[in-house]
Amino acid sequence: MDHDTLVLDGKSLTIEDIVRVAQHKMKVAISSESLEMLNKGRNMLQQWINNDAPVYGFNRGVGLNKDRLVEKEKFSQYNRNLILSHSIGVGPEATVEEVRAAMLARLNTLLVGCTGIQPEIAQMYERFLNCEITPIIPSRGTVGAADIGILSHIGLAMMGEGEVYYKGNRVHAMEAFRKEKLSPIILGPKDGLAIVSSNAYSAGMAAILLIDLYDFIEMADAIYCLSLEGLNGNLEPLDESVLKFRPFNGQMKSANRVRKLLQNSYLWNRKEKTSIQDPLSFRGGFTVHGAALDSLDYVKGLLNIQLNSSDDNPCLIVEEERIVHTANFEITTLVLGLEMVGLALTHVSRNSCFRTIKLANPAFTNLTRFLSPDEEQVLAFSTIQKTFSVLDAEIRHLSNPVVSDYFPLAGEIEDHATNSALVIQKLRKILDNLYYIIGIEAIHAAQAIDLRKGVKLGVGTSAVYEMIREQIPFLEKDRNLSLDIERAYQLLKSKRLLKHIQNAIKS
């Protein structure tokens, strides 16, 4: 197997793999063992066709229609109708990378072997990913009790209906099929339910988001360090000897990174007097980032389970020759963890805002008011606080939990949900605001460094300063600051800053 191909086996998919396939278009392949498992599951399901025992979504309907008989002569039409009737999503459209992530997540969980799906459908997921056929699906329509209203649109494309992106171009699904010499899937027993009933959309989005959040915290650590240098801050709280008495994992990770970033900084060898204790946003900034890391690590562990397990109802247990009705589609634990991440990010945001306010205040920096190069002639950063203040307020609003906001649906049979996709979409918006907020902090930190005239920066902070100044010059006279803010935002969001920092630390 090509080393550039990800082999899927239903048990070893990682969030990093999701990004490789979703964003970088890495090829995938179903392992031979998994294909064999799919065949065994399908054979078992076929043997149940003449069994009169009621099975949800197989020989009986779904939701409130769980008492409706599905005759074996009508399996194909019923499963097609199931896909059509569950195609209920509304815009905006999900991104190509989100859809690819969802398809990969669902393909891997199919390989656990609990659905009884046609192996050909699993292979269609594989071909869609490898041929860059991406169904166009709406981003809203799931309540987070399996993403049925979203994933159904992938089923439509597999049946040759609706539109897809094919190698970057928007075309009808059948055009992509013709060019790749593929045939639409003819659905059989239980296939429709297997396509729509999973949390793959939410899981795929969460995987991409987690990688972005880990990268963001790494950049936030670096900008926090530059702010410490801009403040002429006290580094005693970073002392390893004191931190060992309270060794929270995230705090230790952030503190270790901060010390590396500040290696060779003037702050370690200052002779001039400084504050005995800095404001908490400076003194304990690494602890707040550490708390965010702890929340991310917790969710990552849960998501790894989700990506490599069956959330199907009913569940085929092939080795026991049983079909069992389940509640395995419930992902409350994961979604509660994601809500916790949102709360952690509010602390990251508010701490950054407070550091920026302090950097503009001579009482804390002994520099000029609002970091002006000429207080008589230049207003400098006198009003920029309004921007990050409103962005932080929006983050605070977005951090309010929605996991418990749901209705009893489907004739009140489905009376629990999590709003998983909405929780992740909220987090994505929080992260987008944070790129602006941390970017504004970086602008202030770089200005403070310049006003200190010639201080020696750390190995990592030199890289941060260099990249900022490459995009945003020293504020010598008043100018349109919206342009500076946007440049800082793009610098963080594109991860160019992150790569530059990482290269500096390695060398």
The residue assigned the tokens 């891997």 is 108
Q: Could you tell me which of 105, 123, 103 has the C-alpha nearest to residue 34?
A: 123
pLDDT digits (tens, 9 = 90+) for 435-492: 999 999 999 999 999 999 999 999 999 999 999 999 999 999 999 999 999 999 999 9
Mean pLDDT over 79-88 rounds to: 91
* Gap between the Cα atoms of 355 and 279, Å rounded: 8
Q: Could you tell me which of 285, 185, 184 has the C-alpha nearest to residue 229?
A: 285
DSSP per-residue letters across 154-211: HHHHHTT-SEEEETTEEEEHHHHHHHHT-------TTHHHHHHSSSHHHHHHHHHHHH
The residue assigned the tokens 């589609």 is 329
Given this model, what pLDDT does residue 2 score? 61
Given this model, what pLDDT does residue 273 score? 61
Task: Decide: 217 and 456 in contact? Cβ < 8 Å.
Answer: no
User: What is the phi-psi region of residue 307: left when phi exceeds 0, alpha when psi lies from -120 to 50, beta otherwise?
Assistant: alpha
Is it the case that residue 76 has pLDDT exceeding 90?
no
Mean pLDDT over 243-255 rounds to: 96
Task: Decide: 8 and 34 in contact? Cβ < 8 Å.
Answer: yes
Q: How many CB atoms lie within 10 A of CB 231?
A: 25
Mean pLDDT over 95-115 rounds to: 97
Question: What's the CA angle centered on 196, arms 296 and 95, to 5 degrees?
Answer: 55
Mean pLDDT over 137-158 rounds to: 94
**Cβ neighbours for 310, distance < 8 A, ≥ 6 positions apart:** 109, 112, 113, 114, 115, 328
CATH topology match: 5-198 vs 205-312+327-506: no
Element (H, E) at 27: strand 27-30
Mean pLDDT over 79-92 rounds to: 92
Computed over every residue of the chain, the mean pLDDT equals 94
Given this model, what pLDDT does residue 91 score? 92
> What are the C-alpha distances in Å from 173 to residues 15, 23, 128, 311?
28, 21, 11, 28
How far the first Cα of the chain sits from its last, in Å, is 34
pLDDT digits (tens, 9 = 90+) for 309-352: 999 989 899 999 898 988 888 999 999 999 999 999 999 999 99
Q: How far does Cα 325 stand from its chain's mean position?
A: 31
Q: How confident is the model at residue 506 (pLDDT cuts 50, 70, 90)?
A: confident
Given this model, what pLDDT does residue 73 score? 81
Element (H, E) at 452: helix 420-452
Q: Architecture of domain 205-312+327-506 in CATH? A: Up-down Bundle (1.20)
Is it the case that residue 1 has pLDDT exceeding 60?
no
Higher-pLDDT residue of 447 and 49 is 447
Given this model, what pLDDT does residue 125 score? 98
The helix/strand/coil state of 6 is: strand
pLDDT digits (tens, 9 = 90+) for 195-238: 999 999 999 999 999 999 999 999 999 999 999 999 999 999 99
Given this model, what pLDDT does residue 466 score? 96
Q: How confident is the model at residue 409 (pLDDT cuts 50, 70, 90)?
A: confident
Q: Can you give the residue ranges of every domain in the chain?
A: 5-198, 205-312+327-506
* Gap between the Cα atoms of 234 and 232, Å rounded: 7
Mean pLDDT over 380-400 rounds to: 97
Superfamily of domain 5-198: Fumarase/aspartase (N-terminal domain) (1.10.275.10)
